[in-house]
Amino acid sequence: MKRTSFLLTLLLVAIFTFAQSQPSRRGVPATPHPIEYVQPNGDTLVFRLIGDEHFHYRMTLDGYLIKQNKKGYYCYAKYNKKGETVCTCRKAHNAEKRSKCEQRYIEKNIPNKIKEREQNNQD
């Protein structure tokens, strides 16, 4: 009887140890703190990471999707017909540093998910 109890205890410890050693399937959330990035031309851009290590993206503080291009600049991004995010030709700037021309461009061409969500919550 003692031997059976000992083997059962040993088996339970082995199962518990194995279960604890397996990697978690849940993602670790992105940092909630804004990130400051210096663009290759010296401009500073502050943005947020959204998501976890499995699915993530970057947004300006006022909610516009951005993506880094091949030259290292963060540009405004939008979805193509396949649903993939692609860089636009416009480099991203903090809201207070945008020109009127840039502001008109992004209001017309770049969806702002945060503003859309706020409008849906008010309805």
| pLDDT reported for residue 119 | 46
Contacts of 41 (CB under 8 A, 6+ apart): 73, 91
Global pTM reads: 0.68
- Whose tokens are 């205890």? That residue is 9
| pLDDT tens by residue, 101-118 | 999 999 898 887 655 444
- Answer yes or no: is 77 within a domain: yes
- Whose tokens are 């405004």? That residue is 76
| pLDDT tens by residue, 61-92 | 999 999 999 999 999 999 889 988 899 999 99
Q: Report how many domains make up the chain.
A: 1
- Answer yes or no: is 10 within a domain: no
Domain that holds residue 44: 35-122
- Answer yes or no: is 24 within a domain: no
- Answer yes or no: is 66 within a domain: yes
| Cα 49 to Cα 29: distance, rounded to the nearest angstrom | 9
| pLDDT tens by residue, 30-73 | 778 999 999 999 999 999 998 877 788 899 999 999 999 999 99
- Answer yes or no: is 28 within a domain: no
- Answer yes or no: is 69 within a domain: yes
